[in-house]
Amino acid sequence: MIFIFITVLIDILAFGLIIPVLPHLVEGFVGGDTATAAWWVGVFGTTFAAIQFVCTPIQGALSDRFGRRPVILLSCLGLGLDFVLMALAPNLAWLFVGRVLSAMTAASFSIANAYIADTTAPEQRAKSYGMLGAAFGLGFIIGPVVGGVLGDIDVRAPFWAAAALALANFLYGLFVLPESLPVEKRTPRFDWAHANPVGALVLLRRYPQVFGLAAVIFLDSLAHYVFPSVFVLFADVRFDWGIKQVGYVLAGVGLCTAIVQAGLIGRIVKAVGERRALLIGQSAGLAGFLLYAFAGEGWLFLLGIPVMAFWGLANPSVQALATRAVGADEQGRLQGAFMSLASLCGVFAPLMYASVFAHAIVPNAPLYYPGAPFLLAAVIVALAFWVSHRATRPAVVPAV
């Protein structure tokens, strides 16, 4: 668990470094037009997700056949080389190529989930998934702040720092990270029927409860895409926050997330159970998005951050419930299927949110409302709450 925690932490640090600066780098390539930059950020996000939709089930199936370790190593190496390419990109086209390569190799998160399923007892998985969430939060405490400071000096400096971290992660995994899936538990052959995205999604239909939980994964992922799609540009337009301020805000998000994920999830799940923890998380997500959507001042937006942190209860609870339904030799394909769902909604979510934001801020907009994308996300989380409630209801045994 320590090994995989550090692997995920370093990856999140690398991603966190570039979050405050990537939209502004795009903005520089399009002449400083924020609405156009928002559209291109949406295109980048859609392309990334479409490629991951195809590639993540392949990586999940490869990890079931050959083990988790080699797939994680490939992911770390690919990300490091991708960040180097983006640091050197002279124009928007080369930056786009970098994102394509990143999407083809990024698999560390889904394989890390399978790694946990390999190494922990079912009753401990929600807590362990919470620890991965804590790595996510800790990476977001440090990464965006450092990225904001470096980006204030040179907009490309965070990409070099991210490349160094990702390549260091590759070396760490090469010499330290152990394999979690014994040879006797691996699938006997690589199966293209489950490695393609359609086949991976068909796998979910074999397990009725998992199929309902997969819908929750999809809806929560769809809502979450509002952050990478529009947050940086939204913060600039709505509150006049620059790169440094955005870095500090994201660090606050990471701190609150780490507190909930590392310190509270295990206790809450133990006290109320996975189902109730899931529903509490969805309620917090809905409340947080509503605060974001209607915040007229920066301090109101900041008030939503600790509320939104409790949305982090939802994903570990869903993951823990789902892993109970499949065997050890299918955990990689299960996580690949879940990641495919997240990537599938990412095919259209970035452009959806970017378009809503762009139409809400243009000078001739019928209603100038920068918070519109967050209101849309709140509606999606409300639907996720309803699906969560129905998909996890205890089976009713008819009276004899």
Q: Which two tokens stand for residue 364?
A: 């001739």
- The answer to whether position 185 is within a domain reads no
Q: Which amino acid is at 351?
A: L
- The answer to whether position 361 is within a domain reads yes
- The answer to whether position 188 is within a domain reads no
User: For 209-242, what is each residue's pLDDT tens digit?
Assistant: 677 888 888 899 899 889 877 888 888 888 988 8
Query: Which among 139, 152, 170, 163 is positioned nearest to 16, based on CA atoms?
Result: 139
Q: Which two tokens stand for residue 58?
A: 């392949």
Provide the domain limits for residue 42.
2-178+195-391
How many whole angstroms separate alpha carbon 311 and alpha carbon 278?
8
How many whole angstroms separate alpha carbon 102 and alpha carbon 86?
10
- The answer to whether position 189 is within a domain reads no
Q: What is the pTM of this model?
A: 0.67
- The answer to whether position 8 is within a domain reads yes
- The answer to whether position 399 is within a domain reads no
- The answer to whether position 398 is within a domain reads no
- The answer to whether position 170 is within a domain reads yes
Residue 275 belongs to a domain with what CATH number? 1.20.1250.20
Instruction: Count the domains in the chain.
Output: 1
How many whole angstroms separate alpha carbon 271 and alpha carbon 253?
25
SS3 string, the chain, reads CHHHHHHHHHHHHHHHHHCCCHHHHHHHHCCCCHHHHHHHHHHHHHHHHHHHHHHHHHHHHHHHHHCHHHHHHHHHHHHHHHHHHHHHCCCHHHHHHHHHHHHHHCCHHHHHHHHHHHHCCHHHHHHHHHHHHHHHHHHHHHHHHHHHHHHHHCCCHHHHHHHHHHHHHHHHHHHCCCCCCCHHHCCCCCCHHHHCHHHHHHHHHCCHHHHHHHHHHHHHHHHHCHHHHHHHHHHHHHHCCCHHHHHHHHHHHHHHHHHHHHHHHHHHHHHHHHHHHHHHHHHHHHHHHHHHHHCCCHHHHHHHHHHHHHHHHHHHHHHHHHHCCCCHHHHHHHHHHHHHHHHHHHHHHHHHHHHHHHHHHCCCCCCCCCCHHHHHHHHHHHHHHHHHHHHCCCCCCCCC
How many whole angstroms separate alpha carbon 335 and alpha carbon 107?
10
How many whole angstroms separate alpha carbon 340 and alpha carbon 164?
28
Report the sign of the C-alpha dihedral through residues 355, 360, 363, 364, in that order.
positive
Are 280 and 313 spatial neighbours (Cβ–Cβ below 8 Å)? yes
List the pLDDT tens digit at each of the 400 positions of the chain. 777 777 777 777 777 777 778 777 888 888 777 777 877 877 887 787 777 777 777 777 777 788 888 888 888 888 888 888 888 888 888 888 887 887 777 656 677 777 777 777 777 776 777 777 777 767 767 777 788 788 878 888 888 888 888 888 888 888 888 887 777 777 776 665 555 556 656 666 666 667 788 888 889 989 988 987 788 888 888 898 887 788 788 788 878 887 887 778 778 888 888 889 999 999 999 999 999 999 988 889 999 999 999 998 888 888 778 777 666 666 666 766 777 677 678 778 888 898 898 888 877 767 788 889 999 999 999 999 999 888 887 653 334 3
